[in-house]
């Protein structure tokens, strides 16, 4: 399987509830590698760029208010099939439909407070890493354990 990079956001509800590190830990424990990490307060410009696909939807104003409410954590995770793996670890967008064992199921109840963002596909991942890490380094590094997580 191909090595991929994907963007994860720890959203304001997770930050306020003290769940940032327990959530990051789930991706890390799965074997995904952190290659960039940043505490950032999203302004209107970055929030609307990130959520451009949702402009005009009824939940859009609330979504922008939510994501800009306080500092959040942006992270880039790397691994084989990282895009789908992160989405799977997050669970369905609606926490009540998410599988037990996923972040959104285990920590959440409502779609507008679903704790975490993960890029939907490889194109979105490249676009979103560009938005949140513009001009900032995403590191190439080898873990001593990489051969015990990735077969090749
Ligand atoms: P995703 O985050 O699982 O990719 P999207 O459909 O891309 O889900 O929606 C982006 C985000 O917008 C969701 O994670 C959620 O925070 C918010 N959202 C989506 N639909 C609704 C809704 O119906 N009400 C409130 N918030 C919503
Ligand atoms: Mg989405």
Please list every protein residue whose CB sits less than 6 Å from any atom of ligand 1. Answer: 59, 63, 93, 111-112, 114, 117, 120
Of all protein residues, the one whose alpha carbon is nearest to atom 17 of ligand 1 is 112
Total domains in the chain come to 1
Ligand 1 atom index nearest CA of 11 = 16
Give the per-residue pLDDT at 60: 98
Per-residue pLDDT tens over the stretch 112-150? 999 999 999 999 999 999 999 999 999 999 999 999 999
In a domain? residue 54? no
Of all protein residues, the one whose alpha carbon is nearest to atom 27 of ligand 1 is 112
Nearest to 145 by CA among 4, 36, 31: 31
pLDDT at residue 152 above 90? no
pLDDT at residue 1 above 90? no
- Residues 63, 9: Cα–Cα separation, whole Å: 14
Ligand 1 atom index nearest CA of 117 = 2
Structural domain that includes position 102? 3-40+72-139
Q: φ and ψ at 29, to 5 degrees?
A: -65, -30
Per-residue pLDDT tens over the stretch 18-76? 999 999 999 999 999 999 999 999 999 999 999 999 999 999 999 999 999 999 999 99
pLDDT at residue 7 above 90? yes
In a domain? residue 80? yes
* CATH number of the domain within which 99 lies: 3.30.70.141
In a domain? residue 21? yes
In a domain? residue 125? yes
Choose which residue among 58, 112, 123 to substitute to test ligand 1 binding: the one with the highest number of ligand atoms within 8 A of its C-beta.
112
Contact 116, 90 (CB under 8 A): yes
In a domain? residue 66? no
């Amino acid at each position: 399987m191909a090595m991929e990079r994907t963007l994860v956001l720890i959203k304001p509800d997770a930050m306020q509830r003290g769940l940032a590190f327990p959530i990051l830990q789930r991706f890390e424990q799965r074997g995904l590698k952190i290659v960039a990490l940043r505490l950032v307060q999203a302004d209107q410009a970055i929030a609307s760029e990130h959520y451009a696909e949702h402009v005009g939807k009824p939940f859009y104003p609330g979504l922008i208010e939510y994501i800009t409410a306080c500092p959040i954590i942006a992270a880039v995770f790397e691994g084989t099939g990282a895009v789908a793996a992160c989405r799977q670890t997050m669970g369905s967008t609606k926490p009540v439909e998410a599988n037990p064992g996923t972040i959104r199921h285990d920590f959440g109840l409502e779609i507008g407070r679903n704790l975490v963002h993960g890029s939907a596909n490889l194109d979105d991942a490249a676009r979103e890493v560009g938005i949140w890490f513009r001009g900032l380094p995403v590191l190439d590094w080898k873990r001593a354990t990489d051969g015990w997580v990735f077969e090749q």
